[in-house]
Amino acid sequence: MQKKLIALAVAGLASTGAFAQANVTVYGVADASFDVVKISGDANNELGNTTRVSTNSSLIGFKGAEALGNGLTAVFQFESAVGFDNAGALGANRDSYVGLAGGFGTVVLGNLTGPTRALGAAVDVNVGATGIGANSALLGKLGNNLLNTTDSAGNYPPIVAGAPSNTTCGRSTTCTSIFDTRWKNAIAYVSPSFAGLNATVAYVANENKSLHGLAAANTTGYDVGLKYANGPAMAAVTYNAVSTGRADDLKISDLRVGGSFAFGPASVRAIFDLARADNFGGNKVTQAVYGLGATFNVTPASKLLGQVYVARDLKVNGSSANDTGAKLFEVGVEHSLSKRTMLKATYALINNDKGATYDFGINAAGINTGALPGGANAVGGTVQGLSLGLRHTF
């Protein structure tokens, strides 16, 4: 897979190395799959099957570095998501930045993946942490109350009638938590690696300047991570705290602890995630998510993979809110035709508790938008799918 200069450091909490002067590099991923998705309601009544072609986090990017002397290197990257399964779309909403690297580490400014999102992706068993089986279906969502990201002005919309919703996701859209999206208006520092240990600190700037009647962008926060990576072992802990700046003074946070270990042809991955919201309708709400995954190389070209994630019931002021959790099950296989081209097949199932409407994190089925037959939501239902795809990197 194409390596990404500082994006690799920021998104993976990796150490920063020295960069030689280089020309601009064009890179990308073309990943498409044919999906068959089935949604069942709370009484196991079938609400229909959907067939579709999905572009799973496909992207195109431009990156480069220039040696400045005295151990300094200027680095930059512009990266855009690419959707080519329908009318086609191109948007500069992925990791894009400019920065400086040196013996002190790396500093970048722009639209960035923080260490919390990076840890979730690092322990996912799917190549590129994408597709219907991705662990972002459950991580950090707090009962589907903390979905999506800040708007174009940098605000996190309130959950009120007539406002953009943080509780629903449309069909075939990205449906991840706010902690598993990229941060706008961000600056990040990535330390050098010391015996495999390094740190990342990211800050989301507050543009709350209501000058001359201009609207304020209030969301601000920080995202910190400490990671150890040496040989077959990786372990990390991250913490992301966000103040929305809204009238209800909603403050949210997410703590993650996870890691992986490779031995012979196999690997195991595990993660614990604890999302929290204060002043959420006057309450403190928390939710824990546990995940376990594994891969096994049957041959040098073929890999089996699987993972199980469990979102526990919400706790409101310390008391459990029954039937608000969900489970994610995934099994799959990846077969490399070359170093850059891969065939893959995945089966994924989300089993919601009676009061939950969790959806796929990547390429949502739209189970909680009221867009199902009769304007229904599949509350307490299941969403499952079979995905057959081809992935090419360049």
What does the block give as tokens for 135?
Answer: 């662990």
Phi, psi for residue 244 in degrees, rounded to 5: -75, -20
Q: What is the per-residue pLDDT for 10?
A: 42
Among residues 367, 393, 369, which one has the least CA distance to residue 41? 367
DSSP states of 164-203: PPSS---TTS---BGGGSPEEEEEEEEPPPBTTEEEEEEE
**Which regions of the chain are under pLDDT 70?**
1-22, 42-48, 86-89, 91-92, 152-154, 157-167, 207-217, 369-378
pLDDT tens string 61-92: 999 999 999 999 999 999 999 888 766 667 66
Number of domains the chain is built from: 1
Q: What is the per-residue pLDDT for 1?
A: 37
* Dist CA 252 CA 287 (whole Å): 12
Q: What is the per-residue pLDDT for 249?
A: 79
Q: What is the per-residue pLDDT for 21?
A: 46
Give the domain extent around 35: 5-393
β 283-297/314-316 pair status: antiparallel
CATH number at residue 261: 2.40.160.10
Contact 65, 58 (CB under 8 A): no
Q: pTM value? A: 0.88
